[in-house]
Amino acid sequence: MSLSISDAIEETSTNFNITLKVPETMSSPLPMAYRTVHIQYTVPNDKDRWNIVAIEPFILRFNRTIRQLNVHICQFTNSFRQQNSVWYDDQTSCRGSPSMLIYHWAAPSPLTKFQTLNNLGFQLDKSKSIVLSVIYVQEQYVHKEQPRVVFYISSLIPRYHLGSLEVGSKHKITRLSCRLSDYPRLLYSVKPLFSTIKHDWWRIYAIRNRSFGRKIIQPVLDSTTFSELNNSDVEVLSSDIFLVSGDYILGECDDRHEFTCNFLVLYAYKNILSKSSTEHIHYCQQNNYPDLFKLIPKIDEISTTVRPSVLSNVDSSTMFLLICLLIIVIWISIIVGCIIMRRIRGLVNFRTEPSSPIGARETRPIFGQRGNEQRLAAEGDHIAQLDVEHMGLMS
């Protein structure tokens, strides 16, 4: 059976794609029924050092036969290290070799492309191989669905690489706690490996040990701050959480969940420590430090601290409405006051107009003019009378 692996055409001198696809079993079915298939890819040139910067899965939209897709970086020994190989129904993806989970998808989550930032990525060299594991819903001799995963590769060596830490167990454990004992790391993102809809609440905390026995408790991510609009189910952390050897990671879920409480925590580390990254611890599967949960807030305290914020939101909205109503009342009062003032000024002007000095100056010339007219009329009558008498004497 041939393995379907294709290298895409190089876009630039430093970027290219690798596609891993499940081999077809229609033409040559296996002699046994299988539920899981693993596809391995190894760097062809021993001198190459690659950087996986993005992962994009492809499955038929209405297909319901696939349950999970997992991608591991495995560090095989020479006996298992082959160029390309396929095996079926193995419980471990890397055949017991050191491994690191870098991608996980489970139905019915949406299929989205996982893209890193700032050219960060997972290191891949001659000592490591990519293993794609496909888990089907049922065990069959022939599986018609052939999913594929495209890996976006960059040959540029960044200053920092990405690593992963699986916080969880196959058993239904609601609390997990681990202590880091290797290189420093900066937490990058968190991906819940379960359905966030079916969980009431979950949370991840980091406890950092510092000088003089002082412990710094810092929340990493919980169900209240997890972005509901994030279709990829990967939450990139906004705050810088730097952990060193001796610090702790705590994970907790509600006790009414159907699935296990598992998380995939991605972190960044320096390139100088990347030579044997898969040899370090990448699992946190037990509650080794149960007393640490006494240091973090109880879930009842978290719920009560949420209530004042809700009340404060209600009070702020009420205050905003009251301020708007007060502004409207003041505006109406100003308009009514202006109208009343105009009316009062009009009445005052009407009452004081007859006794104004301007009216007195205007009336005086009128009386003087009438006196002159009477005097002129009297003189005219007198002259007319003299004329009449004079005419009588002349006659």
Tell me if 223 sits within 8 A of 202, measured CB to CB: yes
First to last CA, the chain: 169
What pLDDT, on a 0 to 100 scale, did the predictor assign at position 33? 82
What pLDDT, on a 0 to 100 scale, did the predictor assign at position 139? 83
| Amino acid at site 272 | I
DSSP three-state, residue 254: coil
Strand pairing category for 283-284 and 202-209? unpaired
Tell me if 95 sits within 8 A of 56, measured CB to CB: no
Structural class in CATH, domain 159-296: mainly beta
What pLDDT, on a 0 to 100 scale, did the predictor assign at position 150? 93
What pLDDT, on a 0 to 100 scale, did the predictor assign at position 97? 81
pTM: 0.67
Residues 6 or more apart whose Cβ sits within 8 Å of residue 200: 223, 254, 256, 257
Instruction: Give the separation between CA 36 and CA 204, rounded to whole angstroms.
Output: 31
Tell me the Ramachandran region of residue 309: left when phi exceeds 0, alpha when psi lies from -120 to 50, beta otherwise: alpha
Tell me if 162 sits within 8 A of 121, measured CB to CB: yes
Domain 1-157 is found in CATH 2.40.10.10: no
What pLDDT, on a 0 to 100 scale, did the predictor assign at position 72? 93
Unique residue bearing structure tokens 């200053």: 159
Tell me if 128 sits within 8 A of 72, measured CB to CB: no
Give ∠ CA 60-38-279 in degrees, rounded to 5: 125
What pLDDT, on a 0 to 100 scale, did the predictor assign at position 358? 44
The token pair at 77 is 């020994």
Question: Which parts of the chain register pLDDT below 70?
Answer: 1-14, 25-30, 46-47, 61-63, 78-84, 195-200, 227-233, 256-259, 272-281, 300-317, 348-395
What pLDDT, on a 0 to 100 scale, did the predictor assign at position 133? 92
What pLDDT, on a 0 to 100 scale, did the predictor assign at position 301? 62
| Domain span(s) for CATH 2.60.120.310 in the chain | 1-157
DSSP three-state, residue 161: strand
